Amino acid sequence: MSKFLNSVIAATLLASPVAAEKFGLGRAALPEEIAAWDLDVSPDGTGLPAGSGNAIDGDELFAEHCAICHGDFAEGVDNWPKLAGGMDTLDHEDPLKTVGSYWPYLSTAFDYVRRSMPFGNAQSLSDDDVYAITAYILYSNDLIDDDFELSKDTFFDVEMPNADGFIIDDRAETEYAVFTEACMTDCKDSVEITMRALVLDVTPEEEGAEEAAAEPVVEVAAVVEETPAEPEVVAAAFDAELAAKGEKVFRKCKACHQVGEGASNKTGPVLNGVVGASIGHIEDFRYSKVFGQMKDDGMVWDEANLSAFLAKPKAFAKGTKMSFAGLRKDSEIAAVIEYLKQFQ
């Protein structure tokens, strides 16, 4: 008998006083052993532990424990699940079902993170960590503010958009009686493929397909000089209070970008001096082709371009390698730009 099967039987007998008594094997589980497995959190809040956390703290925890599969901004990596977005897509042919768009109960998200995550190291997070990561997922879906303190007491202050989107499963009473007996063998003379798995996005793209895509259309002013002159930047009054708020927002960027003394290129380029600089101005960083073209066209990171890029990066620069989905609030965009002005 396999070791796995032995362990399953042993665990069953350990947890089952009836089996232990009937078969004379194992023993009844101790209360503390049962408590170690009794982690479920119900939709009514039963089982919620003490503790608290907010999205600001959850941002760093998510980057450390979750981002490798779910992306820095809960946008998903490759075919790993997206945890944010998908609002108003449930009636589409290919809906995006996320914590924000689909899940009716916040307890489901909390329970799953607490019980099963992070992948390969389940139940290694403290209850405070689970509250903070859950808060970050909610913030990524624009359901709470970043400083909202999620806890047992505030859990039901959060309104899940699809809470009323489910119905009682009454098929046993309304449908099963009219079902015919299911065919299990030789049901069709032949079987043919009628559709490929396009919607599932399971077929890898050929290498270089993205680079071969049509060049992005970028509206720029005509450049008369062969080598454009550096733009003249007019210094505006610095808003220290706004910059302080921007420092908090920049936590979303720190996984890929550094600023300040000793900053170096990481996944993304160092952002010292970015405000007012030419797009693609860091010489020792390998930018995507679209940024190289923008640099050749004389485009600069003025506040208008920075704002447009931070709101929707892939719309501003189609083909960018950056996975950042964009900031949702104009106030956050203004704050992070103000914060970056310090590092000129």
pLDDT in tens, 45-75: 999 999 999 999 999 999 999 998 998 889 8
DSSP state of 52: E
Least confident of 71-75, 127-131, 147-151, 204-208: 204-208
| 192 compared with 5, residue with greater pLDDT | 192
| 219 compared with 321, residue with greater pLDDT | 321
Question: pLDDT band at residue 6, thresholds of 50, 70 and 90?
Answer: very low
> What was the pLDDT predicted at 209?
47
DSSP state of 78: T
pLDDT in tens, 289-333: 888 889 889 999 999 998 899 888 878 888 787 767 678 788 989
| 23 compared with 119, residue with greater pLDDT | 119
Burial of 249 (0-12, 13-18, 19+ CB in 10 A): buried
> What was the pLDDT predicted at 262?
87
Angle at CA 188, nearest 5°, toward 184 and 192? Answer: 120
> What was the pLDDT predicted at 26?
81
| 207 compared with 168, residue with greater pLDDT | 168
Mean pLDDT along residues 41-47: 95
Please name each of the domains of the chain with its CATH number: 3-37 (no CATH), 47-198 (1.10.760.10), 240-340 (1.10.760.10)
Mean pLDDT along residues 174-203: 76
Is the confidence at residue 243, as pLDDT, over 70? yes
> What was the pLDDT predicted at 251?
77
> What was the pLDDT predicted at 179?
81
Place of tokens 């990524």: 140
Could you tell me how many helices (H) and strands (E) the chain has, helices first? 13, 2
C-alpha distances out from residue 14 to 4, 19, 27, 162, 220, Å: 15, 8, 5, 40, 72
Is the confidence at residue 276, as pLDDT, over 80? yes
Is the confidence at residue 98, as pLDDT, over 60? yes
CA distance 232 to 218: 22
Mean pLDDT along residues 184-213: 65
> What was the pLDDT predicted at 263?
87
The chain-wide mean pLDDT, for the chain, equals 82
CA distance 283 to 235: 24
| 277 compared with 221, residue with greater pLDDT | 277
Q: Are 341 and 302 in contact (CB under 8 A)?
A: no
Mean pLDDT along residues 173-191: 84
Q: Are 84 and 73 in contact (CB under 8 A)?
A: yes
pLDDT in tens, 188-201: 888 887 766 655 55
CA distance 334 to 246: 8
Share of the chain above pLDDT 90, in %: 36
Mean pLDDT along residues 164-185: 87
Is the confidence at residue 232, as pLDDT, over 90? no
- Terminal Cα-to-Cα distance of the chain (whole angstroms): 68
Mean pLDDT along residues 222-233: 52
| Closest listed residue to residue 326, CA positions, set 308, 342, 312, 343 | 312
| 4 compared with 306, residue with greater pLDDT | 306
